[in-house]
Structures are given as structure tokens and as C-alpha cells.
Structure 1
Amino acid sequence: MGFLKLVGAAGALISLLAAVWTVRVLNTAPLASQIPAKHLTLADGRNLCYHSQGNPSNPHLIIYIHGTPSSRLESVGTSEEVLNELGFYMVSMDKPGYGQSHPDVSRTLKSFTDDVVALTDHLGVSKFFVVASSGGGPYGWACIKYLPDRVRGLLTISAAGPVDKLSAEEWAATGQPGFAMVKRLEASSALAAGAIRAMKTGLYRFASTDLGSKLLYHLVVKAAVANNHRSMADADEKCLQRFPEYRAVVVPEGLIQESAAVLALDIVLGMGTWPFNVSSIPPEVGASVHIWHGTGDKAVPYLQAHKFHDMLPSAHLHIVPDGGHFAYYVCNLVNQRKALSDLLKYARL
């Protein structure tokens, strides 16, 4: 019974991720088929797929890191007009295993930054900004941590973080009782904590097999994406209602490899224990970090943004009342323009 409960909890987690990390779009966004995909062969032979927005001659490069599950197309939620107005050239990459980028089963938060370096070297740019959304947040933090001599500034949009940074009471207060229940069970006894760890490990190993990856994809992930509207913040749902044709574009592109293993690894890396502490980032580097989050977010509790800011008080914290998970950025050009212009205002390097 315990294992079945864990499977259910994992399914709920994937459903939650799929529900709100679906699509970021504006009315000027082209359909997926109209956005040319570009490719880079990495040193280990993997393909990295990306696309670009804004005028390539603009002086400031942004690397955009999408959520989970999603794809490089997520960045079309950033206005081309705003990018050009501020002098940005945005390049959005498929994370390994999403869209048309080859998977990397040995991926870590740190090794991901090697892909970012390879891409920016390919583009001929040594210093750049990073914008990271929701499930891309952990990778954005890794960039500012491991590439301080190259990253001029970081903008996080409803960034996910380690589950253990929030208490059971805090998880319960955010309307996500599943996480609260697991936290309370883990704290109840060493035996319970050990059993939960063992079940999590077993489930992750199963998801990492070819059979498990395909089975969980078809039984859990597809159903979660199909029912994403059921657990979406009102602000996000209203945002997508304006652009219904895009609901089926960004995530399906990200999931064309039909792999639950990629999602499982993303969850472990992004929501498990990180190999670094945000508090270890120097204050002068933190001053170039901008943390945005909406209080109405039903995917990643906005309390997570406060936790990040507590660890790095030199960063700039922006909490948007009833902002949802992405609507406050995608469907509010005032916020979007401020978020991007602040990158320039507080830029390093």
C-alpha cells in the first residue's frame, strides 16, 4: 500500500508540474511549425536544439531556460517588441531530453551549465543574462552559481526549488497537502523516513528504465497534460483563454520523446537537495538576481521565493498579488518590461 501511495503522489506531482508549466505565449507568438529550430552538436555528440527571438544584432544576449515539462518554444511568451526595445537577443534551448535536444542521463545541475557555455561560445558571446522559468529555475540558479564570470544577471519566474526548504505546515498552507503529508511522515520516525526514501528510490529507478519511462509516460504524463486545466490558477487560465491555440503547442513539443525518465530526473535534480546552497552566492553577485513570483501560484508556492530571498538577501524580490504561475509575466507587458529592464539596470560584467 505504501508503494501505491508513493506512485500516486509521484503521479500527482507530475500532474501538478504539467498543469501549470504548460505554455507561455503572447498574441504575437507564431505556431511551432513557424519557429525555425536550430541545432548545435555538443562535444559528447549530443544534439542541442534552440531557437532565437529579437534582433541578432541587439547587444544583450539572454539564455532562456524553460520549465518542466516544456520546450524551447516557451520563450515565445516574451514579447519580441519588448526584447528589441531593450536591446535583447533571446536564445531559448531545449533542456536535455526535451523537444529536439538529446537526453543526458548523467546530467547534473552543474553539468547543465556546460551546455550553456557551449551554446554561448557557439554564438560568440562570452557574457550573457539568464531567464529561468519554474522548473528551469534550479538550472538558472546553477548558472549564476557556477558561471559568475559569464552571467551578467538572473531573472527567475516562479522558480521551483528543493522541497525540503518548506516545512509541512508551509506546504499545507499553500494548498498542496500531498507534500505536507510526506513531510510529516518523514518526520514521524526514522523508520518511516527510511521507507519513504526507499520507495522514492525504487520509483525513480523504475522511471529510469526503458519500460518504466514509457509506461509512466503513457499512463501518467499524457493524462496529466490532458487535464492540466483542473489545477491551474485563475489568472493563468484566463491568460491561456486569450490564446487557446497555443495550449497544445509548447508542452507537446517538449514531450515528443515520450520519456518519463526525463521528468523524473528533472524532479530529482530540481526539487531534491541541490549540490550548492544559494546562500553561498556572493552578495555582489546576488545583487544581479531578480526573483519574481505570484501569490496565486498553484504549482510552486510563492513562499519558495521568500526562501530564496532569505538565503540571498541582496537579490531583488518581486511578489505579485494573485499573480498565478506565469500570467503576471506572459500576459502583463508592464511586469515583463520591468523584469527585463531591471536585468540591465542591475547588470554585472
Structure 2
Amino acid sequence: MSSVGGKVSAASAGSHTRKSHKNSSSGMFKRVPLLLFLGVLSWAYQAIQIPPPKLCGSPEGPPVTAPRIELRDGRYLAYKEHGVLKNEAKYKIVFIHGFDSCRHDAFPMSKELAEDLGIYMVSFDRAGYGESDANYKRTLKSTALDIEELADNLGLGSKFFVLGYSMGGQVVWTCLKYIPHRLAGAALVAPVVNYWWPGFPANVSKDAYYDQLGPDQWALRVAHYAPWLTYWWNTQNLFPSSSVAAHDPRIFSPPDMSVAAKFEARPYADQITQQGKYGSHHLDMIIGFGSWEFDPMDLKNPFPNNEGSVHLWHGDEDLLVPVKLQRYIAQKLPWIHYHELTDAGHLFPLADGLSDRLIKSLLVGDK
């Protein structure tokens, strides 16, 4: 009995040991997916964390070289003056630069035109660009208010003109919405369009959206539907990100290629995003293509008594912003003076003579 009992006990012990190993192995294999999941989750969390900006003038930031004003919220805005002296000017213009640009990319204006008409122009670094402090709380309205503060600090008077190019042209819509009482006139030059503005019929915006290169379609989807992923999407190497940010030559039409060298040869290009790309490029995408609290196509004429005018200029061979969208906006807002240029791309202001013609049209009409 004892030997049999001993055998039974040994078998039982062996069986118990095998079960223990089996349970231990099973538990281990169950933990592996959990550990992998936690590892991926940790990596994903780190990947989407937005780095702080390298503010100009801070111990680890770039130097301050431009004149700047201090805004009410403590941020600094850098600017650059052009044309005749401010105190001698008849016309005062605030120029708003586009994506991947800065105050040095002022709208081209000949010395002759500036002196003949008495034009003072100030360009400024939008928040996060160049030497202007980043504003991670930037909104549609905040840039319009930055412009108003800049004008007040520089003493431009109760009314001034705004002229915006590309993404800066899109900002002009916000000026027409939030500070129309401060405007003497406005020009939108090849303004970027948000494909999700509700005023567009679905077929119009959809057709235009799919005219873009594939990487830009995805970059804008992320910016619109998952803005919290925008930083990661535009810094990862798994999928192609914005071709506009990469200056992919496919975004330029033949007319653009004839002047693109002027755009690419900028000696200050490294200064444009020196404080980081989130506060400049990425917020431009998030705000420009996010869900707007107003539709530009619902705006009313800010100059009902013809005391000023609004102009929209666009090239019919613009590959970045489809002209069909501007045509629709012009139909919806008949008070806009719409100018469509034939054989012109997105970079048409760089073509000789065109910029002077545009500025003159804004200030004194087509005389």
C-alpha cells in the first residue's frame, strides 16, 4: 500500500508540476501581448507629444534680430517695414504671408509704385514663424486680433488695408469676419481654401479635394479629423506627409516653374521654422483645414457704401488651390472683385509687373 501510495503520490506530484509549468507558461504568453500593447501605447504617447517651441531670445532659442511689438498676452510679434515712411504714407497696408514663409517674404512692390502712390507696407511673422512667438492656443480669431494690435502699436490709424497671400489670403477671411471695422480694403491673393467649408456643394469640394496629390489628401484628412495626430503625421517616416511642406516640384504648374527659383533661393529659409514646425506649419494645417466657426460664404459686404473694396486674385493654373473653388466663392459673394489670371499658377505674384498691378487695383481701382 505504501509503495503504491508512493507511486500515486509521485505521479500526482509530477502531474501537479506539469500543470504548474503549463499554467505558468500560459500566464507568461498572456502577458506578452499585454506588454507589447503597453509598449506600443507608450511609444504612441511619446510620438504625439508636441515639443515646446524654441522661443527667440530664450537661452536655447534663436537670437532676436527684428523689431518686435509685445502683444497683450505677452507674446512678441516681429515685423518689417517697406515702402515710404509711415508718417508720409497715404496708404498703409498690412501684408500677411503664406505657409512656410515669413516677414521677409513681403508682397513684391516696386519702389516707383510705392513713391508714386505713397504706400507704406508692413509684413510680420505670423505666430510661430520667424521671430514671432509661437501661440499654441492660436485660433481663427487670434491672428486677426494680432493684426489689429500690430496696426495699433505701429500707429496705422483707425483703418488700414490687408493683403494676404496663400495661407495669408485665408487669414484675410478672418479679418473680414472679426475686424471689418478696421479695414479700408482687403485683397486675397491665391487664398488657401478649406475643403470642409459648408457653403461648398459636396460635389464641388470633393472634386477639388481629389485634384490634390495623394500625400496632401492624407495630410489634410489628419489635420481635419485627427488634429492631435498632425505633429506625428508630419514627422514620421512611414507614410509620405505634406508635399507642400516638402516643396515637391509636382505642386508647381508650368507657369510656376518659370518663377519657382525666386521662391526656392531665399537665403533666410532656415529662419522660417527655426522655433519649431508645430507652431508654424502644423498649426497652419490644423486651423486652416479644421472645422471653422463661420463660413466665409456667409459673410456680408463690409463696404456697403463702396467706402472700400475686397479683391480676390487667382491663377487658372494653380495646382495648390483649385481655381474652381474660387469661382464658386466669387459667385456666392458678388461684392468681391474677382480677378482670374490666365496662364498663371500659385506663384504668380513673383512674375514681373503683376504685383504692382494688383496693389494699384486694391488702392485706387483699375484706373
Same fold by TM-score, threshold 0.5 exceeded?
A: yes
Give the corresponding residue for 1:100: 131
Measure, in 1, the Cα distance between the counterparts of 2:316 and 2:228.
35
Q: 3-state SS of the aligned residue for 1:308?
A: helix
CA contact 1:171–1:177 (8 Å) conserved in 2: no
Measure, in 1, the Cα distance between the counterparts of 2:141 and 2:343.
33
Measure, in 2, the Cα distance between the counterparts of 1:129 and 1:151.
6
Q: Number of residues paired by the alignment?
A: 288
CA contact 2:95–2:124 (8 Å) conserved in 1: yes
Measure, in 2, the Cα distance between the counterparts of 1:303 and 1:289.
19
Q: Shift of residue 76 of structure 1?
A: 5.2
Give the corresponding residue for 1:151: 183
Give the corresponding residue for 1:169: 207
Give the corresponding residue for 2:249: 229
Q: Which deviations, in whole Å up to 9, do the C-alpha atoms of 1:292-325 show, x marking residues without a partner?
A: 0001111111122213212311110000112110
CA contact 2:164–2:187 (8 Å) conserved in 1: yes
Q: 3-state SS of the aligned residue for 1:49?
A: strand
Give the corresponding residue for 1:268: 286
Answering whether residue 266 of structure 2 is matched by residue 240 of structure 1, we say no
After the TM superposition, which segments of 4 or more aligned residues of structure 1 sit over 6 Å from their partners? 179-182, 219-224
Measure, in 2, the Cα distance between the counterparts of 1:78 and 1:277.
32
One of 252, 275, 290 as aligned partner of 2:270: 252
CA contact 1:71–1:250 (8 Å) conserved in 2: no
CA contact 1:130–1:151 (8 Å) conserved in 2: yes
CA contact 1:109–1:138 (8 Å) conserved in 2: no
Q: Shift of residue 213 of structure 1?
A: 8.9
Q: 3-state SS of the aligned residue for 1:145?
A: helix
Give the corresponding residue for 1:136: 168
> Cα–Cα, structure 1 residues 153 and 223, in superposed 2: closer, same or farther, change >3 Å?
closer
Measure, in 2, the Cα distance between the counterparts of 1:91 and 1:78.
12
CA contact 2:129–2:279 (8 Å) conserved in 1: no
Give the corresponding residue for 2:72: 43
CA contact 1:65–1:136 (8 Å) conserved in 2: yes
Residue pairs, 1:68-79, within 5 angstroms: 68-75=99-106, 77-79=108-110
Answering whether residue 362 of structure 2 is matched by residue 326 of structure 1, we say no
Q: 3-state SS of the aligned residue for 1:62?
A: strand
Answering whether residue 343 of structure 2 is matched by residue 341 of structure 1, we say no
For residue 295 of structure 1, what is the amino acid of its counterpart? D
Q: 3-state SS of the aligned residue for 1:73?
A: coil
Q: Shift of residue 178 of structure 1?
A: 3.6
Q: Shift of residue 82 of structure 1?
A: 2.3
Q: Mark the structure with the bigger radius of gyration.
A: 2
Measure, in 2, the Cα distance between the counterparts of 1:148 and 1:117.
10
CA contact 2:190–2:346 (8 Å) conserved in 1: yes
CA contact 2:223–2:285 (8 Å) conserved in 1: no
Give the corresponding residue for 1:313: 334
> Cα–Cα, structure 1 residues 177 and 150, in superposed 2: closer, same or farther, change >3 Å?
same
**Identity within the alignment, %:** 29
Give the corresponding residue for 2:228: 205
Q: Which has the higher contact order (CA 8 A, sep 6+)?
A: 1
Measure, in 2, the Cα distance between the counterparts of 1:98 and 1:78.
22
One of 85, 89, 110 as aligned partner of 1:58: 89
Please identify which structure carries the higher helix content: 1
For residue 66 of structure 2, what is the amino acid of its counterpart? A
What's the RMSD between the two structures over aligned residues? 3.1
So what's the TM-score if we normalise by structure 1?
0.73
